[in-house]
Chains A and B, each alone.
Chain A
Amino acid sequence: MDFLSNLALGFDVATTSYNLLFCFIGVLVGTLVGVLPGVGPIATLSVILPFTTLVGSPAASIIMMAGIFYGTQYGGSITSILLKVPGESSSIVTTLDGHALARQGKAGTALSIAAIGSFIAGTVATILIAWLGEPFAQFALKFGPSEYATTILFGFIASAFLTSTDNPLKSLAMILLGVLLSTIGIDLNSGIERFTFNNLNLYDGVPFAILAIGFFGLSEIFYDILTSKKDKPVVAEKVNRLYPTSEELKASTPAIARGTILGSILGILPGIGVTLTSFITYAFEKKLSKTPEKFGKGAIEGVAAPESANNAASQTAFIPLLSLGLPGTAAMALMFGTLMVNGIVPGPQLMTQHPGLFWGLVVSMWIGNFMLLILNLPLVGLWVQILKIPKNILYFIVIVFALAGAYFIENNMFFVLLLIPIVLLALLLKSLGFEMVLLGLGFAMGKLFEENIIRALTISQGDWSIFLNSGISLTMLVCSCILILINKGVLKKWKI
C-alpha cells in the first residue's frame, strides 16, 4: 500500500462516528486537564488507562488517550496566558511572555497565536509520523536482541540524564526500581515465580495500570493535598481582541516554523519530553532573536515557539513507540500500557498487523488538533470559569475514579489494597525528590529489557561482546557514554 492509500485507510478509521466521539472526548478531557493545575496528563492517563478496555475498540482507546495527551498542551496555554497559572508543566515557559502580553491587553493575540501555532505544529507532526513511521518500522526489523537491549539502555540513560538536570542519579534509581518491579511474577524463561511471596495474585506480576494509578495518579494528588497551600483567587486578564493583526502573524510565523521543527526533532528523541522541549525552544528563540530584551516582557515569539514545539513533540513522541515499540517518555509508557491492555503489541509489526489502528491514530491526531482549535478559542471564557471548581471536589472525583479503575482491572480487591503500600512508598520517594514518572518507564520497558539481554547472552553463549558487535548497538552504547560524560562535565573540561 502506498502513502496515499494508507492515509485514506486512516481517514476511514478515524472518521467513523465511534472514533470521532472518542477523539472528541480525548481532546475535551485533555484541555480540561491542561487548564486545571494539580492534575497533570500523566496522572489522568494513568487513572483512565484501566477504563480503556471498556471502550471495546483498541483504535478508539488509543485515539482517546492520545487526544488527552496532546489536548493538555493546548489547555495548558490558556491558564498560563490569562492567569499566569500553568495548568501543565510544559506551559510554564508560556507564562513568561503570554501573561505579559495579556497584561498589555493582548490576551486574545497570545491565545490565538498559541492555538494557531499548536495546530500548525500538530499538522506537521502528523505528516511526520505518517512519513517516518514506515521507514522507522523497516529499520526496526534489523533489530536483534542486542540492538533492542542497548536501545532500551540508551532510552533509560537519556531519560535519567535529560529529564532531571539537578539529580540524574535519583532518576536513574527510579528507572532501576521500575525495572526491578517489572520482574515480579513468573519468569517466562524458567517458569519460576519471583518476588511474589507465594501470593497467587502476583503470579502475573503487578498490572501496569495499578502501578501507574499508585505512583503517578494517587500519589500526585495526595502529595499535592499534603503540601499545597490555600488556592489563590482566580483573577483572569480580559480577552479583548481574539485574532492577531497581520504584523503579529508575520512576527510569529518564523517562530512557529522553528518551534515546529525543533519540537518535532526533540519529540522523537527518548527522554526529552514536552516540558524540556518547550524550555529548549524558548531559549533557542531568545538566542536567535534580534531583540532578546523583549523576551519575558511580552514577545509574541516567546509564546509562538514553545507552544508550537510542545505540541509537535507530544505527537512525534509516538514515532518510536509505534514503529519500534519503545516508549521514550513516561506518557508514552502509558500509551504503551494502553495498547498492551487492549491486546495490541506495539512494535515494527504494528503497521502490518494493525494498519487501521496505526493510520487511524495518525489521522485522528490531525482531526483532534482541528477540534482543539475550534474548542479552544471561542470557549476561552468557559475554560477560565472551570478553574473556579474547588480542588477538593476535583480530587475527590479523581480518587474515586482511580479506586474504581484499580478494582476494575482484575475485579480483584487485592490490587486496590496493593495501592496502599504503593502510594506510601511513592509519597516517601517523592518527598525525597525522586522523579516518579521515570519509574513507569523502567517498569514498562523492564520485561523487554530482560528478555533481550537474556536472549542476546544465550545466543552469544555468555559473551558480552555481542553488545559491541553490531553497528546499532555500538552506536547506542557510545551515545549513552557521551550522555554520561556530558553530564559529568568531562567534555567541557576537554573543551569539546
Chain B
Amino acid sequence: MKELTSGFITILIGSLFLIKSLSYDLGSFSIPGPGMFPSLISTALILVGFKILLNGFLK
C-alpha cells in the first residue's frame, strides 16, 4: 500500500509540474525554451512514479 501511495504521489507531483511546464514555450532542442527543461524532468519524474507504482503492484 505504501509503495502504491508513493507511486501515486510521485506521478501526481510530476503531472502538476508537467502541465504547468507545457504552458511555457518549449522551443526546440537547438534553441530550448523555458518550458523544455522542466518538461523533461517532470516527464522523468512521472516515469519514475509509474515504476514505483508498478513495483508496488508486483509486490
Contact = CB atoms under 8 A, between A and B. Distances in A.
Interface stretch (A223-231, A295-303, A356-364, A454-462): A454-462
A190 B34 contact: yes
Interface string B14-42: 10010011001100111111111110011
A344 interface: no
B28 A462 contact: yes
B30 A172 contact: no
A463 B29 CA distance: 8
A173 B48 contact: yes
Contacts of A463: 29
Contacts of A458: 30-32
A404 interface: no
How many of chain B's residues touch chain A, expressed as a range? Answer: 20 to 34
Contacts of A192: 24-25, 34
A189 B48 CA distance: 28
B45 to A, nearest CB: 4
B17 A180 contact: yes
19 contacts: A169-B51, A170-B52, A173-B49, A176-B44, A176-B45, A176-B48, A183-B37, A190-B34, A192-B25, A194-B24, A194-B35, A429-B9, A433-B2, A434-B6, A450-B37, A453-B37, A454-B32, A457-B29, A464-B29
A172 B33 contact: no
Given A194-B34, A433-B2, A172 B48 contact: yes
A457 B32 contact: yes
What DSSP secondary structure best describes chain B's contact surface? helix
A448 to B, nearest CB: 12
Interface of A: 167, 169-170, 172-173, 176-177, 179-180, 183, 187, 189-190, 192, 194-195, 428-429, 432-434, 450, 453-454, 457-458, 461-464
Centre residue among B14, B31, B38 by max chain A CB count within 10 A:
B38
Given A176-B14, A432-B6, 20 more contacts: A167-B52, A169-B48, A169-B52, A173-B10, A173-B49, A176-B45, A179-B41, A180-B17, A183-B38, A183-B41, A194-B24, A194-B38, A195-B20, A432-B2, A433-B2, A433-B6, A454-B36, A454-B37, A458-B32, A462-B31
A176 B34 contact: no
A6 B42 CA distance: 45
